[in-house]
Structure 1
Amino acid sequence: MHSPDLSGFQLDGDMKARRIVVAMSGGVDSSVVAGLAAATGAETIGITLQLYDHGAAVKRAGSCCAGQDIRDARAVADRLGIAHYVFDHESRFRESVVERFADEYMAGRTPIPCIQCNMGVKFTDLLQMARDLGADCLATGHYVRRVVGADGRSELHRAHDPARDQSYFLFATTDDQMDFLRFPLGGLPKPQVRAMAQDMGLTVAAKPDSQDICFVPDGDYASVVRKVRPDADTGGEIVHIDGRVLGEHKGLIHYTIGQRKGLEIGGQPVPLYVVKLDADTRRVIVGPRSALATRAAQIVDMNWIGGSYDGPMEAKVRSLARPAPVTIEGSGASRRLVFLQPEYGVAPGQAAVLYAGDRVLGGGWIASTEPVEPALAA
């Protein structure tokens, strides 16, 4: 048996007088959080948001918040003896996440729908529901840590298990949300979480993890975009940075900054990469790897978590990228992020997330980039 660590809920006073709402997706992580919440003695309520059409989603593998997942969440709640409610958020999810995902690709940017989902449907809407229910906190299965700093403010920190860390996707969490949110799994490795689910007798203990973008079956982004925006397959030219037309493409939605494979422009003396997507001319601009070198990026909609910070920092410009040393210039919601060494594959539409060690300082959206070679400005 694995003795549960209940310290992640960080609620003062008698837990029997407390109420915890748990965001339950139907997966093993949120199910274990529900079990941990119930073990505190607090009244525990599970909420699941139905984000897809039941019929279309019921057999979709690797999804979340769909038909089978809703049934799994309900079965877990029954096993734990807690209340469980399902709310239909399909229209809201489509408008705020799926349609924006399609529009970003159409505009030549590389979207991150998981962050948009966390910013809106999962945190803003669920958090309001939890407050409406009189909850003391909203607990989720994200692998991050909430740490109360010396000044009493809530800080967001990486998970102890780097292979599971999801802090990049939560950079837009506000201070008000951080005060109300709890992340009990941030200090645990995934194998231990599965073992805890087994100890709790949960049927989802061996359930596979959901894929990163839950509404994209088989990783086929283009098919999703086409359904939302039928004109997404309008083609155009593939152009070298020196102006030579090298071929034709079948639509901007098939390409991302830094892409090398699938260009279908063989016979070139050096490997070529996508260095820019021009939505106005529908051109895919390609060049050697050196053309991807970026010295700075303009960041918009900046969000800071846990107060000010003026020490050395690093930035991740993709979820799987290594943090790179940076400085930040300017003030307000728009800033200039300067890389101390050239960074490669920086794409408009992605997020730049700032770190100081394990602490997440915040971040913003990449609006444009400044290449090392000024003639290639995107």
Structure 2
Amino acid sequence: MSNKDKTVVVGMSGGVDSSVAAYLLKEQGYNVIGVTMQIWQDESECRLENEGGCCGVTAVEDARRVAGVLGIPYYVMNFKEEFQKNVIDYFVDEYLHGRTPNPCIACNRYVKWESLLTKSLAIGADYIATGHYARIRHLDNGRYAIANSVTAKKDQTYALYGLTQNQLAHTLMPVGDYEKPKVREIAERAGLPVAHKSDSQEICFVPDGDYASFIERDSGIVMPEGNFVTKDGEVLGRHRGITHYTVGQRRGLDLPMGRRVFVTEIRPETNEVVVGEAEDVWSETLKANRLNFMGIGDLPLGEEDHFLAKIRYNHAGTGCRVKRTGEDEITCVFDDPVRAVTPGQALVFYKDDYVAGGGVIVS
């Protein structure tokens, strides 16, 4: 079957990357349908007019204009219910329990893929596609895996570790073969009106970056003040509520210590924020659960292997030994200590240039 007999639904955020993805796939002969996912803001509430975000009025307007230039069908699909349940509710609950979540990972897994792919396949599409800076490889072992894009600076593989084999088998990521300046050049050459649109940086539903206030508004829960303490329990002062803090944080502590101190642990059960010295933020081990194996089918209980692991989105990666220590648990021992291991964030481990698997950091 040639490309012209295959249909691709492209998730169009109104930005340059997804717009170029749609253009490239049309050039490759696919039947392309553009879709923007309404996932958060109502049109009257849009707060990201010129910030390149993926949720509001500008996203729909820009995506529709691009679809017009490309001559492809374009639709807006409502995924607000799915987004509220799988992203916002998850985000809020994690913070209330002293963890620091990555909502983009949840959005990718349960909204941008699970919900969009299900609807796309139901209308007869063969694939969905996005503008992520990543590539999909079909490995010699028969499994699909997310592989690094050609540009480390924009690489987005970390946020995609949760995708399933079925999702990967029905996904195309054409932008992963290009660096960002080339993507903008392609957009300009194709006459796309978003060629020089700026990238979004913040979490789309918290554009001002004030997570604690958002959590209070959404949940109706006012987090109580509590104690800043040392790891031995010595009280150092009062904090504003645990949702204001994350492991590794230095700014905004307002403690008269006379030196730089850092958050080393959050204890929701006692409403304490533990503070320590710079060296206390470094760790050699961690545990993770909620596992998803991607490039490797499994890591049997008791077995271990060596990987390159990332503990946050902008982490360059550190060598480590990953051992299966429970039905839904792995223990990671790093070759060199890593800074600010943060419960709630993802551990993603790589073999060569592809994602082998990942999980959520517990401790």
TM-score normalised by the chain length of structure 1: 0.90
1:286 aligns with 2:281: no
- For structure 1, the residue ranges without an aligned partner over 5 or more in a row are 1-12, 369-378
Tell me the equivalent position of 1:277. 266
Question: Measured at CA, do residues 232 and 102 of structure 1 come closer, stay the same or move farther in structure 2, by a change above 3 Å?
Answer: farther
Report matched runs for 1:113-152 at 5 Å: 113-152=103-142
Residue type at the aligned position of 1:326: C
1:38 aligns with 2:26: yes
Tell me the equivalent position of 2:84. 94
Tell me the equivalent position of 1:295. 284
Out of 321, 328, 350, the residue aligned to residue 327 of structure 1 is: 321
Residue type at the aligned position of 1:178: L
Tell me the equivalent position of 1:371. none
State whether residues 58 and 68 of structure 1, in contact with CA within 8 Å, keep that contact through their aligned partners in structure 2. Answer: no
Residue type at the aligned position of 2:32: T
Report matched runs for 1:173-188 at 5 Å: 173-188=163-178
State whether residues 53 and 90 of structure 1, in contact with CA within 8 Å, keep that contact through their aligned partners in structure 2. Answer: no
Deviation at 1:247, TM superposition (A): 0.8
Worse-superposed segment, 105-114 or 231-240: 231-240
RMSD: 1.7
State whether residues 232 and 253 of structure 1, in contact with CA within 8 Å, keep that contact through their aligned partners in structure 2. Answer: no
Residue type at the aligned position of 1:99: D
State whether residues 23 and 138 of structure 1, in contact with CA within 8 Å, keep that contact through their aligned partners in structure 2. Answer: yes
Q: Deviations over 1:196-247 (max 9, x none)?
A: 1111111111111122411111222222112112324421111122322111
Q: Deviations over 1:262-310 (max 9, x none)?
A: 1111234x42110111111111111112222323222111111133487
1:349 aligns with 2:344: yes
Tell me the equivalent position of 1:312. 306
Write the distance in 1 (CA, Å) between the matches of 2:291 and 2:223.
33
Out of 172, 184, 200, the residue aligned to residue 194 of structure 1 is: 184
Worse-superposed segment, 51-60 or 173-182: 51-60
Question: Measured at CA, do residues 22 and 312 of structure 1 come closer, stay the same or move farther in structure 2, by a change above 3 Å?
Answer: same
Write the distance in 2 (CA, Å) between the matches of 1:257 and 1:41.
48
Residue 225 of structure 1 aligns to a residue whose secondary structure is helix
Write the distance in 1 (CA, Å) between the matches of 2:78 and 2:8.
21
Residue 202 of structure 1 aligns to a residue whose secondary structure is coil
Residue 44 of structure 2 aligns to a residue whose secondary structure is helix
Question: Measured at CA, do residues 149 and 267 of structure 1 come closer, stay the same or move farther in structure 2, by a change above 3 Å?
Answer: closer
Residue type at the aligned position of 1:324: T
State whether residues 143 and 294 of structure 2, in contact with CA within 8 Å, keep that contact through their aligned partners in structure 1. Answer: no
State whether residues 305 and 323 of structure 2, in contact with CA within 8 Å, keep that contact through their aligned partners in structure 1. Answer: no
Residue type at the aligned position of 1:340: D
Residue type at the aligned position of 1:210: S
Residue type at the aligned position of 1:222: A
Deviation at 1:84, TM superposition (A): 0.9
State whether residues 49 and 86 of structure 1, in contact with CA within 8 Å, keep that contact through their aligned partners in structure 2. Answer: yes
Tell me the equivalent position of 2:11. 23
Deviation at 1:18, TM superposition (A): 1.4
Write the distance in 1 (CA, Å) between the matches of 2:314 and 2:4.
41
Residue type at the aligned position of 2:150: H
Write the distance in 2 (CA, Å) between the matches of 1:116 and 1:15.
31
Write the distance in 1 (CA, Å) between the matches of 2:23 and 2:82.
29
Deviation at 1:152, TM superposition (A): 4.0
| Runs ≥4 residues deviating over 6 A | none
Out of 50, 55, 60, the residue aligned to residue 38 of structure 2 is: 50
Q: Deviations over 1:71-129 (max 9, x none)?
A: 11111111111111111112221221112111111111011000010011101001111
Residue type at the aligned position of 1:354: F
Q: Deviations over 1:22-59 (max 9, x none)?
A: 11111111111111122222211111111121111165
Write the distance in 2 (CA, Å) between the matches of 1:33 and 1:17.
18
Write the distance in 1 (CA, Å) between the matches of 2:292 and 2:187.
35
Residue type at the aligned position of 2:93: D
Write the distance in 1 (CA, Å) between the matches of 2:121 and 2:172.
14
Deviation at 1:353, TM superposition (A): 0.3
Tell me the equivalent position of 2:63. 73
TM-score normalised by the chain length of structure 2: 0.93
Residue 362 of structure 2 aligns to a residue whose secondary structure is strand
Residue 208 of structure 2 aligns to a residue whose secondary structure is helix
Deviation at 1:148, TM superposition (A): 2.1
State whether residues 237 and 282 of structure 1, in contact with CA within 8 Å, keep that contact through their aligned partners in structure 2. Answer: yes
Write the distance in 2 (CA, Å) between the matches of 1:196 and 1:92.
33
Write the distance in 2 (CA, Å) between the matches of 1:329 and 1:365.
15
Worse-superposed segment, 149-158 or 80-89: 149-158
Write the distance in 1 (CA, Å) between the matches of 2:63 and 2:25.
15
Residue 98 of structure 2 aligns to a residue whose secondary structure is coil
Deviation at 1:168, TM superposition (A): 0.5
